[in-house]
Structure 1
Amino acid sequence: MAEIHTPFGRVYEDFNVDDVIMHWPGRTITEADDMMFSLLALNQHPLHIDAHYASKTQFKQNLVNGTLVFSVAVGMTVNDISGAAIAMLEYENIKHLKPTFRGDTLYGRTRILDKWETSKNDRGIVYVETIISNQREEDVMSYKRKLLVPKREFAPRPNTHRNHS
């Protein structure tokens, strides 16, 4: 029987400029998700928490809180992009391209835009753009970010060897 150990996250050498990483699984946003997030974040805009109000808007229904979409977008990329990161350095150009509605399922893809070594030989900076789409294949959000990731030789990895006696 083979043991397979998959490290969490990528290290500097695993990122190649122009590669596109498809994130899976998707995440369906429920009414409970949106309501709890909005109230926890103290965002009481009626477009998110008042169905009657939202029904009178151009959207005719509640919109999902945009910062919830952003949080889910970042979260769905952790295993593939930032799971081994030392630090997130910067988020930029966060764009809400289309509305997200309750019941929509979000999917993500990330393009590696650039990478460069730092003055410390144990790490590098990776620059990526993530695009989030819904189940209708409409892009609903995009953002760019820079993260500091270790090089393979210096990446902390748990000891996956077990004593099988």
Structure 2
Amino acid sequence: MTVHDGREVFGRYLEGFRVGDVYKHWPGKTITEMDDHLFCLLTMNHNPIHFDEEYARTIGHGKVLVVGTYVFSLAVGMAVKDTSGKGIAALDYEKITHDGPVFIGDTVYAESEVLDVRPSRTKSDRGVVYLEVRAHNQRGERVLTFRRHVLVPRRPAAVPAV
């Protein structure tokens, strides 16, 4: 009998990544008004475009716009289980683009594509994975793209490949 404790499916060792692989993260998140308002309060973002419906209409969005950094945070969080769950460090985030608006009631989904995998130059027990993360809404419209480098451990010799 084999007992699975769940740890082997949370994140990956360096050897588990292949350039070109795409991880579709599940589940998505339907954004509520409370989510957006709480994020505004926590981050001290008081731009009225994120909570004043009338103001949002006057500048052309038609309705309240969800805070872009919240959408970014969601996409990072969604990616953890599949990509950085065993991570040692998030090394950087780059090329962040807000490709389309996100509104209250939209459902955000994310996926990560492996762009590069390389062993560490200084420590043999780890390596760096370079990922592009893309988020889209329930209509399949891209709303956010960014790239990140994650430091992950190599598979210890005592851990069998799954």
Instruction: Verify same fold: TM over 0.5.
Output: yes
Q: Which segment drifts farther, 88-97 or 46-55?
A: 46-55
The answer as to 2:38 corresponding to 1:36 is yes
The answer as to 2:113 corresponding to 1:105 is no
User: Offset at 1:50?
Assistant: 1.1
> CA 1:17–1:155 in 2, change beyond 3 Å: closer, same or farther?
farther
Q: TM-score, normalised by structure 1?
A: 0.90
Report the equivalent of 2:98: 96
Q: Answer whether contact 1:11 1:155 (CA < 8 A) is retained.
A: no
Report the equivalent of 1:163: none
Secondary structure of 2:41's aligned partner: helix
Secondary structure of 2:37's aligned partner: helix
Identity of matched residues, % = 49
Report the equivalent of 1:12: 14
Q: State the one-letter code of the partner of 2:85.
A: G
Cα-Cα RMSD: 1.7
Aligned equivalent of 2:145, options 135, 142, 147: 142
- Quick one: distance in 2 between partners of 1:41 and 1:28? 20
- Residues 117-146 of structure 1 show CA distances to partners (whole Å, capped at 9, x for unaligned) of 112110000000000000000000000000
Aligned equivalent of 1:48, options 47, 50, 54: 50
- Quick one: distance in 2 between partners of 1:23 and 1:128? 13
Secondary structure of 1:78's aligned partner: helix
Q: TM-score, normalised by structure 2?
A: 0.91
- Quick one: distance in 1 between partners of 2:37 and 2:50? 7
User: Offset at 1:2?
Assistant: 6.0
Q: Answer whether contact 1:11 1:150 (CA < 8 A) is retained.
A: yes
Q: Which structure 2 residue ranges, 5 or more long, are not aligned?
A: none
Secondary structure of 2:46's aligned partner: coil
- Quick one: distance in 1 between partners of 2:157 and 2:74? 29
Aligned equivalent of 2:131, options 117, 122, 128: 128
- Quick one: distance in 2 between partners of 1:76 and 1:143? 13
> CA 1:154–1:48 in 2, change beyond 3 Å: closer, same or farther?
farther
Q: Which segment drifts farther, 120-129 or 6-15?
A: 6-15
